[in-house]
Structure 1
Amino acid sequence: MTDNDDDSLEQRRDALSAKLAARERSEAIETAKEKQSEESRKGMALGLKISSEFIAAIAVGAMLGYLIDRFVGTTPWGMIILLLLGFCAGVLNVLRAMGMVATPDPGVSRGDDPSHKR
């Protein structure tokens, strides 16, 4: 009877080990899927941020140009110039967000730059 109990216990232990291994595999797959979806959400958020900054810069430039034209009477030159400046500011914001252009350090001006030699 002891021999039969040991075999039964061994079989139950093997079955339990197989179930635990299957559960660990499924949890690893689920963790990988969650990580991939998190990366996807981060990419979507960055894309929305960049596009909204780009569109906002153009819209602000156009509005300021329209207001200047309306009050000063320089139609259409104020809107054209400020719309182009807004577009340039939007492109610069996109490049900064992508890390292609360094963000300016507010504490250092051109005259204070130690690497700038005269």
Structure 2
Amino acid sequence: MPKADEPNDKALKSLDARLDAFEAKKAAEQPIRAENEKSSQDGYRLLADLIGGVLVGLGFGWLLDRFAHTAPWGMVGGLLIGMGVSIFSVVRKATKLSAQASTQAPKEQVGEDTGGGSTAPKQKRD
């Protein structure tokens, strides 16, 4: 009877080995996935800041028009001011994010091929 259990043991050991390999692969991919998710979150945050600034400017312009009876100039001014402030804010935040990404990239991607660009072998440059 012990011979009947041996194929099952081999199958279980093979399954365990494949499961360990799969878990190791997933653990190696986790930092890459987290970085991609962070980039998406940063992009959505910048978009929300841009849209929010314009809407807040329009809201203040509408309030000015409503109470000062200056229609449509309050909304036009609020739109321009909101757009200007939101663009300034988004550019400032994007510059800060770009600086953070450029300081982190050399530490994390030393010798790592990102998959983009030429397929020619890399050459040393003096």
- TM-score, normalization by structure 1: 0.59
> Once superposed, which parts of structure 1, at least 4 consecutive aligned residues long, lie more than 4 Å away?
25-28
Residues in 2 aligned to 1:28 and 1:96: alpha-carbon distance in whole angstroms:
39
Alpha-carbon RMSD? 2.2
SS of residue matched to 1:54:
helix
Corresponding residue number in structure 1 for 2:57: 61
Q: What is the Cα deviation at residue 32 of structure 1?
A: 2.7
Matched, 1:98 2:104: no
Aligned counterpart in structure 2 of residue 75 of structure 1, from 68, 71, 74: 71
Matched, 1:40 2:15: no
2:92 alignment partner AA: R
Residues in 2 aligned to 1:28 and 1:94: alpha-carbon distance in whole angstroms:
39
Corresponding residue number in structure 1 for 2:13: none
Deviation by residue 1:67-117 (Cα, 9 ceiling, x = unmatched): 1011111111111011111011111111111116xxxxxxxxxxxxxxxxx
- From the CA coordinates, give the structure whose radius of gyration is larger: 1
Structure 2 segments unaligned to the other structure (5+ residues): 1-15, 97-126
Matched, 1:87 2:116: no
Residues in 2 aligned to 1:79 and 1:40: alpha-carbon distance in whole angstroms:
38
SS of residue matched to 1:65:
helix
- TM-score, normalization by structure 2: 0.56
Residues in 1 aligned to 2:36 and 2:95: alpha-carbon distance in whole angstroms:
19
